[in-house]
Structure 1
């Protein structure tokens, strides 16, 4: 029976597919760490109190990248180059979502609107990250090899999403509500297209690595397109709603270390 659990178990059991999976994940997390680090360094003076939280977000992402690298080393594997068509972060930037890397490389402060754009982008992408990690936590949270890593990353992603909700609501109260909703909608509609394209690319690479039949690949391709259709018809709206999280000030302290994995 083809299920999310059986699919990931197959990827986990094969060194080549596991190597590709961890390499893609590590690259995306490390890129997110760099982006958040630059944003923290360029926060406008009026939002200086936000800088430590953004830095914490970046430190968490860096940690996740190291965790995926550590999982590879535990298997005696080295990372591989990430295929461009699976580079979620790069493709989002190419679609104009979030803050451009050229802007982050410049040494001039960001504007408040830039920070709103960053938070809206993060709210959308962290929703996706939380859902993916919750799926892994449900099926592999007790796995002897990857369970601790899955639980730790999932916990961090929950905190990141809570932080985005709280900060965006603060900016909405300050008069940025319409800009936030407009940016959230644009980000969500772009993200679901990028996620579809990246999912198709990852499945194609995994299918070649694992020798999937044409029939199995066709079923997975159809499932990815069905998910996109659902999200395009209205599923994207879950990515743009805002509510005050139960866990307030989720990024108000230092990043939690992972000494057993890094």
Structure 2
């Protein structure tokens, strides 16, 4: 029977698939760390109070990248190149979602609208990350090899999501509500398509590594496409609603250090 638990168990039991999984995760997290660090450095003067939280966000993402790299090294593995079709961050940027890396490389202050775009993009992508980590904690939170790492990252992702909700609500109350809702919708509809494509690509690579039979690969593809159909029909709305989180000022302090794994 196909299940998230059985699939992930197969992936972590095989060195080659585990190596690819951790490499993809580490690359995406490290990229997120760089993006947030650049945004923090370029925040407009009118929003400088956000800079420490954006810095903390980036530090957490960078920490996650180091955690996935450490998980590889613990098994005696090295990171491998990330296939471009599995690069979630790059594919989102190519669709014009979030702030372009070209803009972030300049030493030029961002605008207030740029920060709205950053927070809206983060609201959507952090929802995806939080959902994924919740699923992994449910099935593998007690796993002797990856459980500790998964629990720490899951807690951080919940903090990131809470931060996005709180900051976007504050900006909506300040008069930016229409811009935020429009941007959230654009981000969500693009993200669900990118997530579908990346999921199909990752499962294709895993299927070849693990030598899954054609029927199993077809069933997984059908499931991924079915999830996209659900999200396109209305499931995307969970990624754009805003409500005051229970965790207030979730990124108000320094990042917690990553213990050894």
Distance in 2 (alpha carbons) for counterparts of 1:49 and 1:152: 26
SS at match of 1:251: coil
Tell me how far apart the structure 2 counterparts of residues 74 and 102 of structure 1 sit (CA, whole Å).
35
State the match for 2:103 in structure 1.
103
RMSD: 0.4
Match in the other structure for 2:133: 133
- 1:69-80 matches, cutoff 5 A: 69-80=69-80
For 1:259 and 1:162, locate their aligned partners in 2 and report how far apart those are by CA, in whole Å: 24
Give the whole-Å Cα distance in 1 for the aligned partners of 2:259 and 2:136. 21
What are the superposed Cα offsets for residues 61-115 of structure 1, whole Å, 9 maximum, x if unpaired? Answer: 0000000000000000011000000000000000000000000001011011000
Residue pairs, 1:74-223, within 5 angstroms: 74-223=74-223
When the two structures are superposed, what TM-score results if normalisation uses the length of structure 2?
A: 1.00
For 2:223 and 2:61, how far apart are their aligned partners in 1?
A: 29
Report what 1:33 is aligned to: 33
Shift of 1:258: 1.2
**Structure-2 separation of matches of 1:154 and 1:174:** 31
* Distance (whole Å) between structure 2 residues aligned to residue 240 and residue 49 of structure 1: 24
Q: CA deviation at 1:259?
A: 2.6
- 1:20 to 2:24 alignment: no
Deviations 1:200-255 (A, max 9, x none): 00000000000000000000000000000000000000000000001100000000
Paired residue secondary structure (1:16): helix
Deviations 1:162-194 (A, max 9, x none): 000000001001100000000000000000000
In the alignment, the residues of structure 1 paired with residue 247 and residue 122 of structure 2 have an alpha-carbon distance, to the nearest angstrom, of: 17
How far apart, CA to CA, are the structure 2 residues paired with 1:106 and 1:26?
25
| Matches of 2:50 and 2:19, distance apart in 1 | 36
CA distance in 2, matches of 1:220, 1:249: 39
**Structure 2, unaligned runs of 5 or more:** none
**Partner Cα distance (1:242, 1:81) in 2:** 37
The Cα shift of 1:260 comes to 1.8
Q: Which residue of 2 aligns with 1:58?
A: 58
Structure 1 residue 37 displacement after superposition: 0.2
Structure 1 unmatched ranges of 5 or more? none
Matched residues in 2 for 1:177 and 1:238: separation?
A: 17
Any runs of at least 4 consecutive aligned residues in structure 1 with deviations exceeding 2 A, and if so which?
A: none
Instruction: Report the TM-score when normalising by structure 1.
Output: 0.99
Give, in whole Å, the separation in 2 of the partners of 1:143 and 1:59.
25
Separation of aligned partners in 2, 1:144 and 1:189 = 37
Cα drift, residue 57 of structure 1:
0.2
Looking at structure 1, the residues matched to 167 and 238 of structure 2 have their Cα atoms a distance apart, in angstroms, of 17
